[in-house]
Amino acid sequence: MRLHYFFQMILRGRSLFLVLGFVVFVLLVGQFINFFGAPPSIEGQESNSEKQRLPSLKSEVARRRVEKDVDELWYFLSSTLKKLEGSETGPMLSKTKDR
């Protein structure tokens, strides 16, 4: 099943905000871990000077990729919602009435 059809199925149901909230939460947690790193263990706490280093190139690339993917997902969802709002009295209802 293609991802596009999966999102259309979600948009038709009432679980859109639940799924969207969960996706945003997971992405934000992932970004937090990528940017700040995993929390240090109690035994091996680092000094303040070691904690203030810049993020690595790998984590910066991952952060930008996540940000780009979230933007794409938002554009897709908002355009699909606009299409659905405009077609409430259009062909979707006429198809369901014919059945």
Could you read off the pLDDT of 5-64 as tens digits, one per residue?
666 666 666 566 667 777 788 888 777 777 776 666 544 555 555 556 777 888 889 999
Is the pLDDT at 68 greater than 80, yes or no?
Answer: yes
- Give the model's pLDDT for residue 6: 65
Residues 70-98: pLDDT tens digits? 999 999 988 888 888 876 555 555 555 44
Residue numbers of the domain that contains 25: 3-39+46-86
Whether the pTM exceeds 0.85: the reply is no
Residue 15 lies in a domain: yes
- Give the model's pLDDT for residue 43: 44
Question: Angle formed by the axes of helices 16-36 and 57-86, to 10°?
Answer: 170
Residue 95 lies in a domain: no
- Alpha-carbon distance of 56 to 54, in angstroms, equals 6
Q: How many domains does the chain have?
A: 1
Residue 94 lies in a domain: no
Task: For residue 67, name the pLDDT band (cuts at 50, 70, 90).
Answer: very high
- Give the model's pLDDT for residue 10: 62
Half-sphere exposure of 71 (CA within 13 A, CB side): 6
- Alpha-carbon distance of 47 to 52, in angstroms, equals 9
Burial state string for 54-65 with b = 16 or more CB within 10 A and e = fewer than 16: eeeeebeebeee
Residue 92 lies in a domain: no
